[in-house]
């Protein structure tokens, strides 16, 4: 039995991806991974309530109360360090991270993004895909680097765009896939199944 993988989850919103990880951990579906703490940059985020219900420590670091991005990232770095996290999961965390944070956790920060990257990076990826008229979109889990949704891709899942969709029905269909994909990647990382070759991330059978 491998050592538990200690996971810190960073959030900004309702936290359905966080919930998916919490539920998977509770049902033994996350390998050795454990969610050891949640940090939100938004005081009212629904994700905080989900953490509380699961008995997971939660911390609010309101980015608005910091002088600049570097000061916020330094506080975030301290928060994650104090949790003793091995892996940092950005699950609907809507802040771009700088090297002040990233250099402390090199290769250990992943993000879930609601499009098939490199298409539609940035905010409202689902709305961008819908407006563009693509017939297939999806979601991506990738390692985080200092660019905008630009780090090495770990895994992706495709979702059809139907003629009777609107941006909201499309968002909901992608979200279901996000929950599955994120759980799968965290479990693979916990089980040491992924290895990197430059930009390529490969899964051992």
Q: Is 151 in the site for ligand GAR (CB under 6 A)?
A: no
Contact with ligand GAR (CB under 6 A) among 92, 120, 151, 185: 92
Structure tokens at 78: 């301290």
Closest distance to ligand GAR from the beta carbon of 98 (Å)? 16
Q: Are 186 and 89 in contact, with CB atoms under 8 Å apart?
A: yes
User: Tokens 């040491």 — which residue?
Assistant: 192
Residue 113 falls in the annotated catalytic set: yes
Q: Count the residues of the shown chain that bind ligand GAR, applying the rule CB under 6 A.
A: 14
The SS3 assignment for 39 reads strand
Q: How far is the CB of 168 from ligand GAR (least distance, A)?
A: 12
Query: How far is 51 from 18, CA to CA, in rounded Å?
Result: 8
Is 138 an interacting residue with respect to ligand GAR (CB under 6 A)? Answer: no
Is position 142 an interface residue for ligand GAR (rule: CB under 6 A)? no
Give CA–CA dist 118/62, Å, rounded.
29
| CA-angle at 189, arms to 139 and 48, nearest 5° | 65
Q: Which two tokens stand for residue 174?
A: 């992608």
Length of the chain in terms of residues written:
205
**113 scored as a contact of ligand GAR (CB under 6 A):** yes
- Comparison of 124 and 191: residue with beta carbon closer to ligand GAR: 124
Q: What is the spatial distance between Cα 60 and Cα 39, in angstroms, rounded to a whole number? A: 6
Identity of the residue, 38 or 189, whose beta carbon is nearer to ligand GAR in the bound complex? 38
Nearest distance, CB of residue 33 and ligand GAR, angstroms? 17
* Closest-CA residue to 81 (of 101, 51, 111): 101
114 binds ligand GAR (CB under 6 A): yes
Return the residues of window 42-61 that contact ligand GAR according to CB under 6 A: 47
Say how far apart CA 126 and CA 130 lie, in whole Å: 6
Q: In whole angstroms, how close is the CB of 11 to ligand GAR at the nearest point?
A: 6
Candidates 8, 15, 35, 88: give the one binding ligand GAR (CB under 6 A): 15
For residue 51, give the nearest of 25, 97, 15 by alpha carbon. Answer: 15
Q: Which of 5, 17, 33, 88 binds ligand GAR (CB under 6 A)?
A: 17
Q: List contacts with ligand GAR (CB under 6 A).
A: 13-17, 47, 91-92, 112-114, 125, 175, 178
Catalytic center residues: 113
């Amino acid at each position: 039995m491998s050592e538990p993988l200690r996971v810190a989850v960073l959030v900004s919103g309702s936290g359905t991806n966080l919930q998916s990880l919490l539920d998977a951990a509770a049902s033994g579906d996350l390998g050795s991974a454990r969610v050891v703490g949640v940090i939100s940059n938004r005081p009212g985020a629904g994700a905080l309530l989900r953490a509380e219900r699961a008995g997971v420590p939660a911390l609010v670091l309101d980015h608005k109360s910091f002088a600049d991005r570097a000061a916020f990232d330094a506080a975030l770095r301290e928060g994650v360090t104090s949790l003793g996290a091995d892996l940092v999961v950005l699950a609907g965390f809507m802040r771009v991270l700088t090297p002040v944070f990233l250099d402390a956790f090199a290769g250990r920060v992943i993000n879930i993004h609601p499009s098939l990257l490199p298409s539609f990076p940035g905010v409202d990826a689902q709305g961008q895909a819908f407006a563009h008229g693509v017939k297939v979109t999806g979601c991506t889990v990738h390692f985080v680097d200092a660019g905008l949704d630009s780090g090495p891709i770990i895994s992706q899942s495709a979702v059809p765009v139907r003629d009777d969709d609107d941006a909201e029905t499309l968002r909901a269909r992608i979200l279901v896939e996000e929950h599955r994909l994120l759980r799968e990647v965290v479990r693979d990382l916990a089980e040491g199944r992924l290895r990197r070759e430059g930009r390529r991330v490969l899964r051992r059978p």
